Structure 1
């Protein structure tokens, strides 16, 4: 029965279900991070991101108008107003005047103020304070309310993270520092590896097989083994900690994979095409620039995706080769770590900073994903 035409094998359904599961597993946290980046701190603290479109009940601390606004009515000093703006639709369920009993009263009830007088708060947030004596002080009375607030979205988090230079949460400088690290660290390995891959694929010279074996062997060498020796070498030759040092480090660590991918792809190109070009008098450099590079664009794009994502999300190499005492070259990953230490409770700032950090890699990946599989599978099938 399983062999009838038109009936899909069970294995295919397993593959589809697995792919769907992985997509959901990846998309749901990203969507939650995006939604949280537009929410306020109070909303994040009271409800999950999946309830962002629904009203949420929150505990708020507000103040009445200052005593200087009081008026005399029928022998009573009166301060009245509204706890929320006219454009806000809020329903208060409980309220209080003490932090120990924030839900002591229901809307419409009257409470005795500690400094004398009474206060009444209704369900819409309107309050009225009365006293036979004049109210004193510089600030209004504290009022604790439990209210159901409508959903609210704001761009203030992005304003703080990206453009507020006076804020300790600003990531604008770190964003451009990360771009300064990532773009050259992606382009330089591609340029160098392309020349090496062409030589290993189409040029005969002694020791070529050994070089190919060495490249394959370097793929499994952990970069942690080379961090300290490479840093000492940079310090000895005068590079120190800076952009040049981190560019060279990323170039060296990414070179084996780049050469391996590009060499496999170039070796799979038609041999007749290369030989005909040589018969026509083309030099090796002309063959490389006019034929090989244009035909190898899928492999180049595939490695560019890997290298860009690696350098953009890197923390370890930046910590070792880049970060200075003044923080002028702090990358976004390190900035997020600093925010976790200093603003661990401000989830709206952390969510915004995290989404800003993954936004650029997402754009790069989706823009070039069609070349990813083509580049990875290059040379695997003859």
Structure 2
């Protein structure tokens, strides 16, 4: 067979390319419709928070598309003037931010120790830590309540912060330890040869490389604590209750303050969404870290 007789490999035909494009377009359309379907409750809550109490009580939120004059910021003005809601919002910040910082700092240091430091019983302690991941919160409610009563911190912000920190650390240490263990040993050895101690290695090498995982953990922890109501209902009093508890108490007068509920519920959801989108790139990097070598 001569060179001229060699069969040439043809590319995909026009029909094949058209089918591939149509299939890709159908997938994108399906994903778009699914996303819009899941966003309908959020859109409805946003629109309801921008309507007056009379409009909310007499018609559905979709009526705003035929009567956009219903939209107003009066609900949010009233919300910011509600001392109970604003104080609860401040409590949510005072609980969520310290818990997130404590879990990240302690979890990162413990994760580095489990990954790269040699000490007696390290493997057994890590197995015990993994076992703590399956312990439900409900098991510890009564013992911790008695402990808090003994130390006089029951009903305070400190008690809620300590409880969330304690139950957030096992997952944080487990996640960061596995991520830090993937750091090349040569980088740490080079730092030790240059005279860097473990604390300096942790701050200058491990933390910058573990940024995506730390950002992912921060998002998870922030969302868990911000949206929690069970722990706050038990360990917080009226002066230290977060926004979730305040909104739950407002539902007892649902017919009289539906405007406060709608705007408060959307505000409670908007803040963690803003945090997620602010760290979205780091979150995706942390999720996909280690997937490709």
Give the TM-score, by structure 2 length: 0.87
> Structure 2 matches for 1:111-260, cutoff 5 A?
151-165=69-83, 170-260=84-174
2:32 to 11, 20, 24: 20
* Structure 2 residue 77 is matched with structure 1 residue 37: no
Structure in which a larger fraction of residues adopt strand: 1
CA RMSD across the alignment: 2.6
Q: 1:5 to 1:154 in 2, by over 3 A?
A: closer
* Structure 2 residue 207 is matched with structure 1 residue 293: yes
Number of residue pairs aligned between Structure 1 and Structure 2: 281
1:367 to 243, 268, 278: 278
Structure in which a larger fraction of residues adopt helix: 2
Q: 1:179 to 1:9 in 2, by over 3 A?
A: same
C-alpha separation in 1, matches of 2:21 and 2:123: 43
Q: Deviations over 1:19-77 (max 9, x none)?
A: 4355223322111111111111222223221220314xxxxxxxxxxxxxxxxxxxxxx
Unaligned runs of 5+ in 1: 56-149
Q: 1:12 to 1:273 in 2, by over 3 A?
A: farther
> Structure 2 matches for 1:10-89, cutoff 5 A?
19-55=31-67
SS at match of 2:130: helix
The higher radius of gyration belongs to 1
Q: 1:328 to 1:262 in 2, by over 3 A?
A: same
C-alpha separation in 2, matches of 1:365 and 1:159: 26
C-alpha separation in 2, matches of 1:273 and 1:215: 27
Q: Deviations over 1:135-180 (max 9, x none)?
A: xxxxxxxxxxxxxxx7322222111112244xxxx51111111111
> Structure 2 matches for 1:323-334, cutoff 5 A?
324=237, 327-334=238-245
Q: Is the 8 A contact 1:261 1:376 kept in 2?
A: no
C-alpha separation in 2, matches of 1:204 and 1:228: 36
Shift of 1:379: 4.3
Give the TM-score, by structure 1 length: 0.67
Q: 1:237 to 1:347 in 2, by over 3 A?
A: closer
Unaligned runs of 5+ in 2: 1-11
